[in-house]
Amino acid sequence: MKIISYNVNGIRAALKKGFDEWLSENDFDIVCLQETKAMKEQVDTEIFTNLGYQQAWFSAEKKGYSGVAIFSKITPDQIVEGCGIEKYDREGRIIRADFGDWTLLNCYFPSGTSGTERQDFKMEYLADFYSWVEELKKERPNLIVVGDYNVAHTEMDIHNPKSNKNTSGFLPEEREWMTKWFESGFVDAFRCLNPEQVQYSWWSYRAGARAKNKGWRIDYQSVSTSLKEKIKASQQLTEVKHSDHCPVLLDIDL
């Protein structure tokens, strides 16, 4: 099963750059999008229906902001919008799909780059998300949690760790949360298979960062340790360019 996670930085903008053509040229089972920046009715969704995808959208209340969606060629048993915490659900950050005995969470974690208030909000989200998933595990222990985590975990996951040590997305407390997260019963699918490989999933639009490959790996696929042996591949598809992120592929035998 091939699962794509992709922060498209606006699905309407990505479509203008050929996102739908790229999807049509590939046979992905499930596509998880973050930062759709659109209500479902603002997008020609027939494009995706014609490619065989069933769609579940969870958009932010604020227009042109945040939002997540799951496109699937496999019919889910259940779709759940949000995590039940209003301040996060208003921003359209989490959508859940259950398939048989496993569950997929597609998540867009907050960014803290706009200032102290949003950084505080991000840290609250990390704490609350961790607690929420701990409860969810009791009901649905086989989890795959994909999306834009907005945190680079280790020095291997960022092009210049020394100059970014005080930058949101690479702060010690954020990285400590990621370590705690992966110690709580998840594996980082990419690192599990590629312990020494350096790949990034996001590049600033400034100063030709992508051409110079000065990036960050902030898009993750967390897989429950119970599913670890089923992981076949995990890669950043760095040549695909519809966004400031690239898609991340997880191939898993479910």
| Amino acid occupying residue 192 | C
Distance (Å, whole) CA 70 – CA 144: 13
Structural domain boundaries in the chain: 2-252
Task: Write the DSSP symbol of residue 233.
Answer: E
Q: What is the pLDDT of residues 173-203, one digit of tens each?
A: 999 999 999 999 999 999 999 999 999 999 9
Asked whether 69 and 109 are in contact (CB, 8 A), the reply is no
For residue 194, give Cα distances in angstroms to 9, 31, 44, 177.
Answer: 27, 22, 38, 21
Cα angle 65, 69, 73; round to 5 = 160
Q: What is the pLDDT of residues 128-175, one digit of tens each?
A: 999 999 999 999 999 999 999 999 999 999 999 999 999 999 999 999
Asked whether 72 and 97 are in contact (CB, 8 A), the reply is yes
Q: How many Cβ atoms are within 10 Å of 127's Cβ, its own excluded? A: 11
Per-residue pLDDT of the chain (254 residues; tens, 9 = 90+): 999 999 999 999 999 999 999 999 999 999 999 999 999 999 999 999 999 999 999 999 999 999 999 999 999 999 999 999 999 999 999 999 999 999 999 999 999 999 999 999 999 999 999 999 999 999 999 999 999 999 999 999 999 999 999 999 999 999 999 999 999 999 999 999 999 999 999 999 999 999 999 999 999 999 999 999 999 999 999 999 999 999 999 999 99
Distance (Å, whole) CA 219 – CA 202: 8
Q: How many Cβ atoms are within 10 Å of 188's Cβ, its own excluded? A: 21
Task: Write the DSSP symbol of residue 246.
Answer: -
Active site residues: 148
Question: CATH second-level architecture of 2-252?
Answer: 4-Layer Sandwich (3.60)
| Amino acid occupying residue 40 | K
Q: How many Cβ atoms are within 10 Å of 224's Cβ, its own excluded? A: 19
Distance (Å, whole) CA 52 – CA 46: 10
* CA atoms lying within 13 Å on the CB side of residue 235: 8
- Please tell me the predicted confidence (pLDDT) of residue 62: 97
Residue found by looking up tokens 């989490």 in the block: 94
Please state the pTM of the whole predicted model.
0.98
Strand 2-7 relative to strand 30-34, pairing:
parallel
Asked whether 182 and 134 are in contact (CB, 8 A), the reply is no
Q: What are phi and psi of 248, to 5 degrees?
A: -120, 130
